[in-house]
C-alpha cells in the first residue's frame, strides 16, 4: 500500500484562497445589481463601467469589496454573502454618491456610504424576512437620498451642479428632441449603472446574456416596453432615449418574470405589464423629487416589483 500524504495548508495558501473567495463574492455583488449571481457577469459589468469611467469603476469595485467584507466580518449568513447579496446596495450607493456629490471629500463619503449600505441591508433583511418580499435596492435608494439631502445642512456634503431643485409652479414639459431608437435600446441597460456610453451598454447586454439567454431576452423586452410606453404617453424625448425610463423597466421584468417567479403561468405577461407600469411611476417619482433636486434612482423598480410580488401572495396565478 502507498502512503497517503497530507499537504499542510500554509498561511499563504489560506490567504490566497480567502482573497479569491472575497473577489468572487464581490464580483457577484456587482452582478446582483441586475439580480444575477454570476462572477463572470460581474467582471464584464466592471469592465463596462471602467471603459466609461476608470474612477467610477474603481469606486464600484471598492464598494463591492467593502460591502462583502462587512457582511463577512459581521457574521452574516455565509451563503448570502457568497451570493453577493450584501454587495449590490453598497455598489450602487458608492457609485451614486461619487457621481451626485462634488468636492474632494466625495470619494471618502462614497466609500463610507457603501459601508453603511451593507449594515442597512442587514437591517432590512431582518425587518422584511416575514413579509416574503425581497429587500431589492431599497437600502441604496433611501440612504443615498438621505445623504444627498444633508448637503442643505452640512457643508461637507456638496451636491453636484447637475442636481438642481426646480419649482413645480415653473415647470414646463418639453417633449421636443431627437428620436434615436438605437441609443434608447442601449442606454436603458447602461443607466442601471449610471452610464450613457453605447459601448458600455453593449457590454452590459453581453454580461446579462452570459448569465443566461432568458435574462438577456427579458432585458430587451423590458427596455422595449418602456421605450414604447414612454413614447406613446408623450414623455420627454431626451429622457426616453437616454434610457431614463428603461432601466427601471429592465430590473422590474427580470425580478417579476425570472428571479422571483414561482410557478406562475403568466409571469412573462405580468413582467411586461410591470415594466410598462414603471414608466408612469418613474414620471411620478421624478415629479415628487423635483423640488429637492434628487434623482429617482431605482425607486420605480422597487415600488413596481413589490406591487406585483406582493399581489402574488393573494393572486397566485399572476
Residue 189 belongs to some domain of the structure:
yes
Please check whether residues 85 and 133 belong to one and the same domain.
yes
Residue 237 belongs to some domain of the structure:
yes
pLDDT at 5: 47
Please check whether residues 143 and 28 belong to one and the same domain.
yes
Residue 106 belongs to some domain of the structure:
yes
Pick out the chain residues at pLDDT < 70.
1-14
pLDDT at 10: 65
159 DSSP β-pair partners: 101
On whether the CB atoms of residues 81 and 25 are closer than 8 A, the answer is: yes
Q: What global pTM score does this model have?
A: 0.93
pLDDT at 318: 79
pLDDT at 46: 98
pLDDT at 127: 95
pLDDT digits (tens, 9 = 90+) for 270-296: 999 999 999 999 999 999 999 999 999
Please check whether residues 213 and 125 belong to one and the same domain.
no
pLDDT at 6: 47
Please check whether residues 258 and 190 belong to one and the same domain.
yes
Q: State the Cα–Cα distance between residues 219 and 67, nearest whole angstrom.
A: 26
Q: Check which CATH number belongs to the domain holding 54 and give it.
A: 1.10.3430.10
Q: How far is CA 31 from CA 99, 174, 220, 253, 282, in A?
A: 20, 36, 17, 16, 23
Phi and psi for 58 in degrees, rounded to 5?
-65, -45
pLDDT at 209: 97
Q: In sequence order, what are the residues at sequence separation of 6 or more whose Cβ sits closer than 8 angstroms to the Cβ of residue 172?
A: none
Domain span at 199: 184-318
Please check whether residues 35 and 134 belong to one and the same domain.
yes
Please check whether residues 149 and 198 belong to one and the same domain.
no
Please check whether residues 131 and 232 belong to one and the same domain.
no
pLDDT digits (tens, 9 = 90+) for 188-236: 999 999 999 999 999 999 999 999 999 999 999 999 999 999 999 999 9
pLDDT at 179: 83
Total tally of structural domains belonging to the chain: 2
Residue 16 belongs to some domain of the structure:
no
Residue 175 belongs to some domain of the structure:
no
Please check whether residues 233 and 299 belong to one and the same domain.
yes
Cα 88 → chain centroid:
7
pLDDT at 12: 64
Amino acid at each position: 500500500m502507498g502512503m497517503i500524504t497530507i499537504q499542510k495548508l500554509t498561511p499563504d495558501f489560506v490567504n490566497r484562497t480567502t482573497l479569491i473567495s472575497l473577489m468572487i463574492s464581490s464580483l457577484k455583488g456587482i452582478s446582483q445589481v441586475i439580480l444575477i449571481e454570476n462572477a463572470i457577469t460581474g467582471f464584464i459589468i466592471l469592465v463596462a463601467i471602467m471603459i466609461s469611467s476608470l474612477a467610477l469603476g474603481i469606486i464600484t469595485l471598492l464598494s463591492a469589496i467593502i460591502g462583502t467584507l462587512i457582511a463577512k466580518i459581521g457574521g452574516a449568513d455565509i451563503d448570502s454573502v457568497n451570493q453577493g447579496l450584501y454587495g449590490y446596495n453598497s455598489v450602487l450607493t458608492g457609485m451614486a454618491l461619487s457621481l451626485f456629490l462634488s468636492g474632494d471629500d466625495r470619494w471618502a463619503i462614497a466609500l463610507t456610504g457603501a459601508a453603511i449600505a451593507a449594515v442597512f441591508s442587514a437591517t432590512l433583511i431582518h425587518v422584511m424576512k416575514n413579509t416574503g418580499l425581497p429587500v431589492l435596492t431599497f437600502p441604496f435608494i433611501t440612504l443615498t437620498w438621505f445623504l444627498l439631502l444633508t448637503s442643505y445642512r452640512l457643508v461637507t456634503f456638496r451636491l453636484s451642479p447637475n442636481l438642481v431643485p426646480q419649482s413645480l409652479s415653473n415647470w414646463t414639459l418639453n417633449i421636443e428632441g431627437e428620436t434615436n431608437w438605437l441609443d434608447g435600446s442601449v442606454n436603458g441597460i447602461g443607466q442601471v449603472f449610471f452610464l450613457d456610453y453605447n459601448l458600455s451598454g453593449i457590454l452590459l447586454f453581453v454580461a446579462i446574456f452570459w448569465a443566461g439567454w432568458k435574462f438577456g431576452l427579458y432585458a430587451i423586452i423590458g427596455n422595449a416596453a418602456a421605450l414604447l410606453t414612454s413614447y406613446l404617453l408623450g414623455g420627454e424625448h431626451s429622457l426616453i432615449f437616454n434610457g431614463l425610463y428603461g432601466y427601471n423597466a429592465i430590473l422590474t421584468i427580470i425580478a417579476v418574470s425570472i428571479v422571483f417567479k414561482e410557478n406562475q403561468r403568466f409571469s412573462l405577461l405580468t413582467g411586461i405589464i410591470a415594466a410598462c407600469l414603471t414608466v408612469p411611476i418613474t414620471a411620478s417619482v421624478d415629479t415628487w423629487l423635483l423640488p429637492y433636486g434628487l434623482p429617482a434612482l431605482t425607486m420605480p423598480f422597487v415600488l413596481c416589483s413589490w406591487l406585483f410580488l406582493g399581489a402574488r401572495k393573494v393572486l397566485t396565478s399572476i
